[in-house]
Structure 1
């Protein structure tokens, strides 16, 4: 559970959950209860169930989530199964960990271009004597086996293969998810909503952070924020007026780069 708490804390306030007509948008971490959502942020199974049960007909489920509580995701998935209309899941950004259970439970799973899906083994923490830890390990084995069954129900294949993919923490591109059978197709359209930026540092094999370009004070700065490090490069941006002959562009770039780096280091990751 320590990793789960880190995931929730690192992404607190970054996402949102909303219902729009026949659309449910899960752009958030999945948490266990409304109380957890109020305290830590995220979307709970209780809130999700209230919204989906109030909707009729077919539903468009938009997903961009770094994952969260597996049992909350199980309750959400059951609400998806029980919905009388067709539920189509669209992975707009990422369906990682517990969020992948929602994606594969829908009647149809559609990956946006550039989106990803991730599967891995369940996490928890243990406390007590050797008997307690053995019991915890046995429980984790049961949870993993149930997750394997979910992926197998969607995609087929051998349980051992899914167990191995989970053990390796496997990240699937949109095309790879379709090939593996976890998704039905890759959408030709762009995602319907803007993507939230997730901190995926809690995962072992998370893809590198995206590159963000910032135009500041006449210098275009490329900021690549990776796990545990900040890498900055700079190139001159088009100036509104010619630079005077006595000016030294390289010195000016370095000075402005230092200013931007100082600002970034003051902002929590």
Structure 2
């Protein structure tokens, strides 16, 4: 049984330009929060696979006193519950939150931005919604219990999207079941975003910001909009270099611990 969540994280572990960053703009009474990464459960997952966990994002949001937060998102998705925690922190923040989907808001990132007061997308950006994933084993009762929990999670996601878009719940569920990818124009037309971005990129946006969108390997999904980039083979070990270092063994133990924890939760 394939764990697509772990595949998504592993496939994107070496993507360049990933980061979580807060930029304060005191003169404009605003803050810019960049989530240009996958969303993971905790710091241990973030250390091994990359990604940003909920705790540092929530802590950073609490420290922001600006009246406007520009949330800039380019994320392939990740953990449902970590994204829910970030979403709730955004809803509770007194600032006006404007979400800018700079490249991609897929899976968990797509409902995270629903907490914003306004959602802005360029025409070339994409948003994707789908049904929740999990891994389960055991007897019939165990598998049915897992399915029931997944059904409840999907129900909460349907409510979130329907509340924001005004679309019928059954239509939302059908889109989720089909793993639907929306362009910026489609997202605005259907209520997932409020308006299309206007004009050229700002002069203060770095080249790294502009290069990051589109870099994700999305082969863990069923219907990605473009082919995944091939993984690069690791460089061969130098002559006389130990094949397995102590650091490598420690990393492997950490990876197994992460996999065991993820496999036991939704």
Q: What's the TM-score, normalizing by structure 2?
A: 0.78
Q: Give the whole-Å Cα distance in 2 for the aligned partners of 1:266 and 1:161.
A: 43
Q: Give the whole-Å Cα distance in 2 for the aligned partners of 1:73 and 1:183.
A: 18
Detail structure 1 runs of 4+ shifted over 2 Å in the superposition. 189-193, 264-268
What do the CA deviations read for 1:214-235 (whole angstroms, capped 9, x no partner)?
xxxxxxxxxxxx348x7xxxxx
What do the CA deviations read for 1:161-210 (whole angstroms, capped 9, x no partner)?
000000000000000000110000000134542242100011111111xx
Q: Which has the higher strand share?
A: 1
Superposition RMSD on alpha carbons, in Å?
Answer: 1.8
Q: How far 1:84 sits from its partner (Å)?
A: 0.6
In structure 2, the partner of 1:19 is 22
Measured at CA, do residues 42 and 266 of structure 1 come closer, stay the same or move farther in structure 2, by a change above 3 Å? closer
Which structure has the bigger radius of gyration? Answer: 1
What do the CA deviations read for 1:84-142 (whole angstroms, capped 9, x no partner)?
11010000000000000122221100002310000000000111110000000000000
In structure 1, the partner of 2:8 is 7
Q: Give the whole-Å Cα distance in 1 for the aligned partners of 2:48 and 2:220.
A: 20
In structure 2, the partner of 1:126 is 136
Q: Give the whole-Å Cα distance in 2 for the aligned partners of 1:105 and 1:35.
A: 26
Q: Is the 8 A contact 2:76 2:105 kept in 1?
A: yes
Q: How far 1:266 sits from its partner (Å)?
A: 4.8
List runs of 5+ in structure 2 lacking aligned partners. Answer: 25-30, 236-266
Measured at CA, do residues 190 and 143 of structure 1 come closer, stay the same or move farther in structure 2, by a change above 3 Å? farther
**Match 2:56 to one of 47, 51, 76:** 47
Alignment map for 1:254-269 (pairs within 5 Å): 266=233
In structure 2, the partner of 1:91 is 101
Considering Cα pairs closer than 8 Å and 6+ residues apart, tell me whether 1 or 2 has the greater RCO. Answer: 2
Q: How far 1:267 sits from its partner (Å)?
A: 7.0
Alignment map for 1:195-234 (pairs within 5 Å): 195-196=211-212, 197-208=215-226, 226-227=227-228
List runs of 5+ in structure 1 lacking aligned partners. Answer: 209-225, 231-263
Q: What's the TM-score, normalizing by structure 1?
A: 0.77
